[in-house]
Structure 1
Amino acid sequence: MLKTILTARTLAITRFPKHGVITAPKRFQSSASNMSSNDAYLAKRQQDLTEYENAGGKIYHTPWKPSISISDFIQKYSNTLELNERKTDCSYTLSGRVTSCRTSGSNLVFYTIVDGTRAFAVQIMSIKKEFSDLQEFKQITKLIKKGDIIGVTGIPTKTSTGELSIIPTSIQLLSPCMHQLPLELTEPEIRFRNRSLDMLVNQDIVKVFQIRSKVMNAVRTFFNERNYCEVETPVLNVLSGGANARPFKTKLNAMSLDLELRIAPELYLKQLVIGGMERVYELGKVFRNEGVDATHNPEFTSCESYEAYANYEDMMNMTQDFMRFVCKQCSPDGSMQINGIDFEPEFKRISYVKGIEDVVKRTLPKPNDKECVEVLFNLCKEYNIRVDESASHTFTFAYLIDKLLGALVEPNCIQPTFIVDYPVELSPLARQKESDPFITERFELFVNGKELCNAYTELNDPREQRRRFAQQQEQKNKGDIEAQSSDEGFCKALELGLPPTGGWGCGIDRLVMMISGQQNIRDVLLFPMMK
């Protein structure tokens, strides 16, 4: 269903945007003296920890059960304690990661610890005389460094300046951080190859993936509330289909089978509709063996849904409801306006061919016109749209008109815009419009110039589907590696009867990018593909 969420057609226009290239690993941009300093820190850290263990200390505690979370501790005492008040009738055990250490003489040390979300922090006011074991105070003060995970048992207090704190009677080192944490980390090569370090230094990273979790939950809630059944279909296929894309290939040794990773779950999901599951959806990974840039990653997450007795008009209405629902669930204020995009008004509609004609100020030829390919090719040259003249499949109506749309129309679709009525040549699985045999009942939703959703009325005539597959196979034979292969098994399934059906797909990673305000797909993937 997602023909272009992760295909190379967009890449042909700007194959590798300025900030989208993933290169070979770079070394830390540090001087020799800094490297020496880091090595010295690690050596000294190892020595101190070894000495502590040799003296009977323990640095990796398990189990360790906090009696209260940092957030609950703050909620419980931030507004109930007076200045300089100590709550001596209770004791709590907290744990967290140290973000700062500040000494105030030999008998007083201040630490700040944060929870895993980095949203809640509390001060640890470590006073020597409050420790039951004074030797422990000395040892632990020497040992604890920024980045360590510690456990603290003590009483609540509020300082004279109004800062909520805990005065410990005991501190345990639960897991040491062996390296110095940098003050900042901006180099993408280092960030994405060491996501743990990235998250420790760049606190906003965690917020992005909390938003991603909300998006995933919202997607499931939307479909579940509409009586769709969530299903899982195979990732390994003898023949991957359902989209125009280049697959990854592998081999199943046990059965001596050459297999492909799925590029879309579409053909399986439509077989479920044939079998009687009239509303199904799948949220999961798909794989396309293509380029990497700011909006494309070879492994990505999509959602596809299929509804019997619906058409592409129904899917457009559903898409508007879907986008509004997800935005309300995930935006900070629960509104339908997010990062400058307003999903509340009715979404704009642009006809595929007319949208191009409005830009070039002329009528485009029909696909069966003799001069069609020449006219479209000259338009690409006129507007400086790069095409691969060495490939035979370049000189086709489908390839050239797709180039024109991608360069002249799509980038201008900033607010939610449906591009509707795609040519048949670009939609091998979509139903033709009865009023025009050259176009299909298909649309794509664009926001911020990027495709988010793709949907159509499904082609359910097995005879026409075989003809379309044959056309795709012909394009593949000419060198178009993204063209679909003929799938006779799917055609036979269609012969059992697919009811009129509306199909829909959404690229979840791009949706998260839009909602979280990120400009690169790597920033919404915990572990993006790296060279």
Structure 2
Amino acid sequence: MQNNWKPSASIKDLIKRAKIINNIRLFFLEKKILEVETPSLSKSTVTDINLTPFETNYLFLENNLNKLKLWLITSPEYHMKRLLAAKSGPIYQICHSFRNTEYGKRHNPEFTMLEWYQTSYSMHEFIDQIDLFFQKILQSKQAVKISYQEVFIKYLNIDPFSTDICELYKISKKFNLQHLTCFEKNLNTLIEILFTLVIEPLLGEYQPTFVYHFPIEQASLAAKNSKDDRISERFEIFFKGIEIGNGFYELTDYLENKKRLINDNKNRRKMNLPIRKIDNNFLNAINHGLPLCSGVAIGIDRLIMIALNKKSIYEVMSFAFDRC
């Protein structure tokens, strides 16, 4: 199309975007939290079954047939944890991340992420800090904080930790989701579907909402709760029915980190997905000693979309995927 040379966002909104990102940096500067930069290219990638990375090759000048496989990062998590293990102290980064197959009003294959790690903070202490961040950047009201269990009881009148498949089938039918659930036999997958499609759109209408203590099956690299082994120290942040952040009280145990990455690959094999080589630099950093810390990844494009009252992240990006 003739007009595809033009930016996705107006120049006026790009100026507003720049001011918001500047305010984010000022927030961290005032708190004396170090801004870092880590590679966009990596020799290893994530094992997460929900993420599809982009791959490329480095060509050696002396022999173009000799290639080194590289990956564009899906997030800077592994590299930033290596910095934490090297005693960086609290750090943050604003960077581009890349995820294949993700495209829509709230997804772009290349997007801007804020990743922030705070040492010596529990999950709840960190949630309070992020709440202050949103109040500063979005001028939002104080956030709502609710557990995963409580949010299911509130909106669906079920306990996700004691429900069964029959009950979940009935609820999915009530919300006309049986086309997605009728052949699904995994309890956790059914719970995730209901959370994503029924509960998420209802969250954070007037102020940010933190949902915490996700099931251990959805822990990723979050620590297990010390009092209840069914739940993890993981939280997600929602505003205007949109997920804008995902955070953990970080898993610091080397063997458990390794076990979870290996289990990811076992699940990949079951789902006929490519097996991913585990990042030994990441694991060696954990083995050296990751300090007790909490971390969060926040989608900057979504945050700015909300701040500027837009319906799509493309309205706040200079050049979205269809114009790149």
The two structures have a TM-score, normalised by structure 2, of 0.88
One-letter amino acid of the structure 2 residue matched with residue 396 of structure 1: N
Match 1:478 to one of 267, 270, 278: 270
| Matched residue, 1:444 | 236
Is 2:59 the partner of 1:253?
A: yes
Report if aligned partners of 1:241, 1:266 keep a CA contact under 8 Å in 2: no
Q: Distance in 1 between matches of 2:289 and 2:30?
A: 27
1:189-208 deviation line (CA, Å, top 9, x unaligned): x4xx1216x88xxxxx2221
| Matched residue, 2:143 | 347
Q: Distance in 1 between matches of 2:79 and 2:185?
A: 32
Alpha-carbon distance, 1:389 to partner: 6.9
Alpha-carbon distance, 1:238 to partner: 2.1
Report if aligned partners of 1:242, 1:265 keep a CA contact under 8 Å in 2: no
| Matched residue, 2:14 | 209
Q: Distance in 1 between matches of 2:53 and 2:170?
A: 32
Is 2:180 the partner of 1:387?
A: yes
Alpha-carbon distance, 1:357 to partner: 3.0
**SS of residue matched to 1:314:** helix
Report if aligned partners of 1:472, 1:485 keep a CA contact under 8 Å in 2: no
| Matched residue, 1:396 | 186
Q: Distance in 1 between matches of 2:56 and 2:169?
A: 37
After the TM superposition, which of the residue ranges 217-226 and 351-360 deviates more from structure 2? Answer: 351-360
Q: Distance in 1 between matches of 2:88 and 2:272?
A: 34
Q: Distance in 2 between matches of 1:412 and 1:463?
A: 38
**SS of residue matched to 2:288:** coil
Report if aligned partners of 2:149, 2:161 keep a CA contact under 8 Å in 1: no
CA change 1:357–1:481 in 2 (3 A) is: farther
1:421-479 deviation line (CA, Å, top 9, x unaligned): 11122122001111111111121110000011221100001111122112211221122
Match 1:314 to one of 125, 130, 142: 125
Aligned 1:152-167 pairs, distance under 5 A: none
Match 1:297 to one of 91, 108, 118: 108
Structure 2: stretches of 5+ with no match in the other structure = 61-65
CA change 1:489–1:382 in 2 (3 A) is: farther
Is 2:222 the partner of 1:430?
A: yes
Report if aligned partners of 1:242, 1:267 keep a CA contact under 8 Å in 2: no
After the TM superposition, which of the residue ranges 278-287 and 472-481 deviates more from structure 2? Answer: 472-481
Match 1:264 to one of 75, 93, 104: 75
1:140-195 deviation line (CA, Å, top 9, x unaligned): xxxxxxxxxxxxxxxxxxxxxxxxxxxxxxxxxxxxxxxxxxxxxxxxxx4xx121
CA change 1:295–1:505 in 2 (3 A) is: same
Structure 1: stretches of 5+ with no match in the other structure = 1-24, 29-189, 200-204, 328-335, 337-342
**SS of residue matched to 2:83:** helix
| Matched residue, 1:180 | none
Q: Distance in 2 between matches of 1:242 and 1:511?
A: 27
Question: Which structure ranks higher in relative contact order (CA pairs < 8 Å, sequence separation ≥ 6)?
Answer: 2
Alpha-carbon distance, 1:268 to partner: 0.9
Q: Distance in 2 between matches of 1:429 and 1:524?
A: 31
| Matched residue, 2:63 | none
**SS of residue matched to 1:438:** coil
1:290-335 deviation line (CA, Å, top 9, x unaligned): 23111111110001011211121122111111111113xxxxxxxx
CA change 1:237–1:252 in 2 (3 A) is: same
1:95-143 deviation line (CA, Å, top 9, x unaligned): xxxxxxxxxxxxxxxxxxxxxxxxxxxxxxxxxxxxxxxxxxxxxxxxx
CA change 1:479–1:381 in 2 (3 A) is: farther
CA change 1:483–1:359 in 2 (3 A) is: farther
Report if aligned partners of 2:47, 2:261 keep a CA contact under 8 Å in 1: no
1:61-80 deviation line (CA, Å, top 9, x unaligned): xxxxxxxxxxxxxxxxxxxx
Q: Distance in 2 between matches of 1:362 and 1:504?
A: 28
Aligned 1:98-497 pairs, distance under 5 A: 190=3, 193-195=4-6, 205-241=10-46, 244-254=50-60, 256-327=67-138, 336=139, 343-344=140-141, 346-366=142-162, 372-373=164-165, 375-377=167-169, 379-385=171-177, 386-387=179-180, 395-413=185-203, 414-415=205-206, 416-479=208-271, 486-497=278-289
Whichever of the two has the greater Rg, that structure is 1
Q: Which has the higher helix share?
A: 2
Q: Distance in 1 between matches of 2:274 and 2:127?
A: 26
CA change 1:389–1:357 in 2 (3 A) is: same
CA change 1:517–1:219 in 2 (3 A) is: same
CA change 1:427–1:483 in 2 (3 A) is: farther
One-letter amino acid of the structure 1 residue matched with residue 54 of structure 2: F
| Matched residue, 1:502 | 294
What is the aligned length?
A: 314
1:227-265 deviation line (CA, Å, top 9, x unaligned): 111111111122222864110111112261122110010
In angstroms, what is the RMSD of aligned CA positions? 2.5
CA change 1:237–1:529 in 2 (3 A) is: same
Q: Distance in 2 between matches of 1:387 and 1:446?
A: 23
The two structures have a TM-score, normalised by structure 1, of 0.55
Report if aligned partners of 1:311, 1:456 keep a CA contact under 8 Å in 2: no
CA change 1:365–1:379 in 2 (3 A) is: farther
Q: State the identity as a percent.
A: 28
Alpha-carbon distance, 1:354 to partner: 2.9
Q: Distance in 2 between matches of 1:529 and 1:246?
A: 17
One-letter amino acid of the structure 2 residue matched with residue 502 of structure 1: S
One-letter amino acid of the structure 2 residue matched with residue 225 of structure 1: E
Q: Distance in 2 between matches of 1:268 and 1:399?
A: 30
Q: Distance in 2 between matches of 1:257 and 1:456?
A: 32
Alpha-carbon distance, 1:360 to partner: 2.6
